[in-house]
């Protein structure tokens, strides 16, 4: 099921961990609605990145899956509002975060995680975009400079 021109439901719910442990990662209708909003925001990010392919490594996580991967209990992944991705044909996670920060995209958070991937989340429907930019690495969590 296509959620936007370049993002499908299965892409935003796929999980090797869920498959390995037999965890059901099927979203309900409310989560699918959020995932559709997320896919459209990711579509804007993709356009910002010169329409380069975005590779999603983690999207929706059921509470059981989120616990298994050590995610935060309040993770936006559990609401269908966040995705972790890379776009190697565009550039590094740092370059991606900086271009998203400079854009008009109404995001909640953009995080460069361990210089390996970008965490991107959108606000809940009706909530104002926080536009928080962070770095998470071995030194801890801090604001983007």
Taking only the tens place, the pLDDT of each residue in 6-17 is 999 999 999 999
Neighbours of 73 (CB within 10 A): 8
Element (H, E) at 76: none
Q: Percentage of residues in the chain with pLDDT exceeding 70?
A: 100
Q: Over the chain, what is the mean pLDDT?
A: 97
CA atoms within 13 A on the CB side of 107: 27
The C-alpha atoms of residue 131 and residue 99 are separated, in whole angstroms, by 13
Range 74-95 average pLDDT: 98
Range 37-44 average pLDDT: 98
pLDDT of residue 145: 77
State how far the alpha carbon of 93 is from the alpha carbons of 18, 29, 70, 112, 136, in Å. 25, 31, 22, 6, 12
Cβ proximity of 57 and 93 under 8 Å: no
pLDDT of residue 77: 98
Q: For residue range 107-130, list pLDDT tens digits in order.
A: 999 999 999 999 999 999 999 999
- Tokens 């392919």 belong to which residue? 53
Q: Which of 89, 46, 114 is nearest to 38 (CA)?
A: 46
Residue 13, judged by CB atoms within 10 A of its CB (0-12, 13-18, 19+), counts as buried
């Amino acid at each position: 099921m296509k959620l936007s021109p370049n993002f499908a439901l299965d892409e935003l719910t796929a999980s090797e961990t869920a498959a390995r442990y037999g965890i059901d990662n099927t979203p309900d209708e409310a989560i699918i609605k959020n995932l559709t909003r997320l896919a459209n925001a990711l579509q804007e990010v993709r356009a910002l990145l010169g329409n380069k392919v975005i590779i999603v490594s983690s999207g929706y996580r059921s509470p059981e899956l989120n616990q298994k991967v050590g995610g935060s209990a309040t993770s936006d992944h559990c609401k269908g509002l966040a995705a972790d991705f890379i776009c190697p044909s565009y550039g590094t996670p740092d370059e991606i975060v900086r271009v998203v920060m400079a854009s008009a995209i109404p995001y909640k958070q953009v995080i460069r995680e361990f210089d390996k991937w970008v965490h991107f989340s959108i606000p809940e429907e009706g909530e104002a975009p926080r536009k928080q930019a962070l770095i998470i690495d071995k030194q801890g969590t801090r604001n983007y400079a």
